[in-house]
């Protein structure tokens, strides 16, 4: 801009000078996303003969071009006078380009993002338009990049996708790294239900976090799990990556009670007996665990190798049919085609599993085939009258064997959601 144009502020600029001013301001507007600037040909872009730069009018923290910005650091846009007219912030990262929610304060002088941390390893772009105290408009674009985490932590759970589950399901996450700040991680995992029931968290060590209600779920309940772990700091240099919502629907109520002494399994639906099946449980040397267990997964056929669970080469069966896992340590409820018929309902012969009569290849009309077809992940199986101890609460989904008060005491938060007092 020439001295001549500057000296004639307050008067009508010459056609050539006015055109230059309009071009300059149009460029600023283009940077802000083609904002319509009214009166942009006026020469009143100066204050006492000194131009107001966009940097003076609109101040952004972190500064333009900043790298390695902390995810929990300060982020705001403000004006020393006047008001913010419009702010648009976008984030570019592993999920593509996304808008960032935020709001301008009632006095119009500050914009801040919605509560929560910034995303890790993402580039942020700020486009802001503001009016200064004299009503002059400026536009500014800045960018900054957040730091990438040194290490990630991820929680694994099942079922992964939306599914219909049994009334005994406990939502359980196992993390790939030890969690130092368990309160921060627990706070970022929200488990809710419709209709509402009280749900509590319980930590088993530093890698596993489970959620359940006081009693088994009511049929028809809708369970929603919100994972807001992306950017959550679990320890020095360790941050979460997951952000997703998982939903389950609770199906009919099925509880199957195994009497190891009588060698029977009674199947109840909604409290009504629908079948009594003969079984064979663990023998005297390898009795089946007592207590409440939950079906973790189902497979039409699996290989069972005793070497993988500490029994050496005592057995290796490549085609065990209708297998339903009850514990992480290797307890299954499964079809058995190799034992003679008189075993079922008569004697316990297994290495700790519970066997139902079946045929090689698995038959849909055998006791094992029928029960497999009637069962889903999350169904409850109760074992009684076995000489073995109670199944541990962290072996599979054995948390139903823990009293409610003890379960709630395993949370890293107090009832208000704050860190527990030391």
Mean pLDDT of 398-420: 84
Confidence check: pLDDT of 11 > 50:
no
Mean pLDDT score, 141-160:
86
Residue with tokens 């497999």: 372
The catalytically annotated residue of 119, 263, 322, 334 is 334
Average pLDDT over residues 141-145: 92
Taking a C-beta distance cutoff of 8 angstroms, is the pair 339, 349 a contact?
Answer: yes
Same domain, 131 and 79: yes
At which of 251, 279, 304 does a domain end? 251
Q: Is 353 a catalytic residue?
A: yes
275-283 average pLDDT score: 97
Specify whether 123 is located in the same domain as 190: no
More confident of the two residues 152 and 333: 333
Contact between residue 277 and residue 264 where contact means Cβ atoms under 8 Å apart: yes
| Cis preceding linkage at 402, omega within 30 | no
220 and 142, same structural domain?
Answer: no
Q: Is the pLDDT of residue 344 over 60?
A: yes
Residues 355 and 304 in one domain: yes
Output the domain CATH number for residue 169.
Answer: 2.60.40.3710
133: pLDDT strictly greater than 90: no
Domain containing residue 277: 254-391
Bridge pairing between strands 137-146 and 123-131: antiparallel
Q: For residue 419, is it within any domain?
A: no
Q: Record the pTM.
A: 0.67
By C-alpha distance, which of 70, 263, 201, 55 is closest to 139?
55
pLDDT of residue 68: 87
Q: At 309, is the pLDDT very low, low, confident or very high (cuts 50, 70, 90)? A: low
Assigned domain for 83 exists: yes
As a whole number of angstroms, the distance between CA 216 and CA 218 comes to: 7
24 shares a domain with 104: yes
One domain, residues 172 and 185:
yes
Range of lowest pLDDT (9-23, 257-271, 321-335):
9-23
**Whether residue 211 is found in the same domain as residue 288:** no
Q: Is residue 260 part of a domain?
A: yes
Report helix, strand or coil for 29.
helix
177 with 135, same domain? no
What is the mean predicted confidence (pLDDT) over 86-102?
Answer: 83
Instruction: Answer yes or no: is 375 within a domain.
Output: yes
Q: In terms of pLDDT, which residue wins out, 61 or 137?
A: 61
Residue 42 has pLDDT above 70, yes or no: no
Reported as type and span, the H/E element at residue 103 is: strand 102-104
Distance CA 52, CA 46 (A): 6
Q: Which residue has the tokens 């299954």?
A: 332
Whether 332 and 381 have beta carbons less than 8 Å apart is answered as no
pLDDT exceeding 70 applies to what percent of the chain? 82
**Which pLDDT band, with edges at 50, 70 and 90, does 41 fall under?**
very low
**Are the beta carbons of 32 and 129 closer than 8 angstroms?**
yes
Residue 30: the pLDDT is: 40
Domain count, the chain: 3
pLDDT-derived band at 421 (thresholds 50, 70, 90) equals very low
- Confidence at 93, pLDDT banded by 50, 70, 90: low
Q: Are 177 and 157 in contact (CB under 8 A)?
A: no
Say what the pLDDT of residue 312 is.
60
Nearest alpha carbon to residue 295 among 349, 350, 334:
334
40 domain residue, yes or no: yes
Last residue of a domain, one of 251, 279, 309: 251
Rounded Cα distance between 227 and 350, Å, is: 40
Q: In what order do the strands lie in the sheet with 297-305?
A: 291-294, 380-384, 254-259, 264-269, 272-280, 354-357, 332-336, 316-325, 297-305
Nearest to 54 by CA among 135, 144, 128: 128
Residue that finishes a domain, picked among 184, 217, 251: 251
Query: Listing from the earlier edge strand, what are the strands of the sheet with 66-69?
Result: 66-69, 137-146, 123-131, 83-93, 96-99
Which pLDDT band, with edges at 50, 70 and 90, does 139 fall under? Answer: confident
Q: Is 334 annotated in the active site?
A: yes
Number of residues in the chain: 422
Q: Looking at 119, 322, 351, 353, which residue is catalytic?
A: 353
For range 284-308, the mean pLDDT: 89
pLDDT band at 351 (very low <50, low <70, confident <90, very high): confident
For 300, the 3-state DSSP assignment is strand
Q: Are residues 285 and 208 in the same domain?
A: no
In the block, which residue shows the tokens 């077809």? 373
Decide if 138 contacts 350 (C-beta within 8 A).
no
């Amino acid at each position: 801009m020439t001295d001549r144009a500057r000296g004639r502020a307050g008067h009508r600029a010459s056609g050539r000078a006015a055109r230059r001013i309009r071009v300059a301001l149009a460029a600023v507007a283009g940077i802000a996303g083609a904002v319509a600037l009214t009166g942009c040909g006026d020469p009143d872009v100066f204050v006492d003969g000194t131009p107001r730069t966009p940097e003076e009018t609109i101040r952004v923290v972190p500064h333009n071009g900043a790298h390695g910005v902390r995810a929990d650091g300060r982020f705001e846009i403000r004006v020393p006078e006047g008001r913010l007219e419009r702010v648009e912030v976008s984030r570019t990262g592993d999920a593509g380009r996304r808008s960032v929610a935020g709001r301008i304060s009632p006095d119009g002088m500050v914009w801040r993002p919605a509560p929560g941390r910034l995303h890790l390893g993402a580039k942020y772009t700020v486009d802001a338009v503001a009016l200064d105290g004299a009503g002059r408009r400026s536009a500014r674009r800045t960018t900054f990049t957040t730091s990438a985490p040194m290490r990630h932590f991820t929680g694994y759970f099942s079922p992964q996708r939306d599914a219909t589950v049994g009334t005994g399901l406990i939502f359980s996450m196992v993390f790939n790294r030890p969690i130092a700040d368990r309160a921060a991680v627990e706070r970022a995992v929200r488990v809710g239900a419709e209709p509402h029931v009280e749900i509590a968290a319980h930590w088993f060590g530093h890698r596993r976090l489970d959620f359940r209600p006081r009693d088994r779920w009511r049929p028809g309940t809708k369970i929603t799990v919100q994972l807001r772990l992306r950017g959550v700091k679990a320890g020095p240099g360790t941050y979460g990556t997951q952000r997703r919502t998982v939903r389950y629907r609770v199906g009919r109520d099925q509880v199957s009670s195994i009497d190891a002494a009588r060698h029977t399994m009674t199947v109840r639906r909604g409290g009504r007996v629908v079948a009594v099946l003969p079984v064979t449980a663990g023998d005297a040397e390898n009795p089946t665990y007592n207590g409440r267990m939950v079906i973790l997964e189902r497979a039409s056929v699996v290989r069972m190798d005793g070497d993988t669970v500490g029994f050496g080469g005592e057995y290796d069966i490549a085609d065990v049919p209708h297998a339903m896992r009850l514990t992480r340590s290797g307890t299954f409820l499964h079809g058995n085609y190799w034992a003679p018929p008189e075993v079922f309902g008569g004697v316990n012969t297994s290495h700790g599993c519970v066997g139902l009569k079946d045929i090689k290849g698995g038959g849909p009309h055998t006791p094992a085939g029928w029960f497999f077809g009637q069962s889903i992940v999350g169904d409850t199986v109760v074992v009684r009258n076995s000489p073995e101890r109670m199944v541990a609460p962290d072996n599979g989904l054995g948390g139903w064997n823990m009293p409610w008060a003890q379960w709630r005491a395993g949370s890293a938060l107090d009832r208000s959601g704050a860190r527990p007092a030391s």
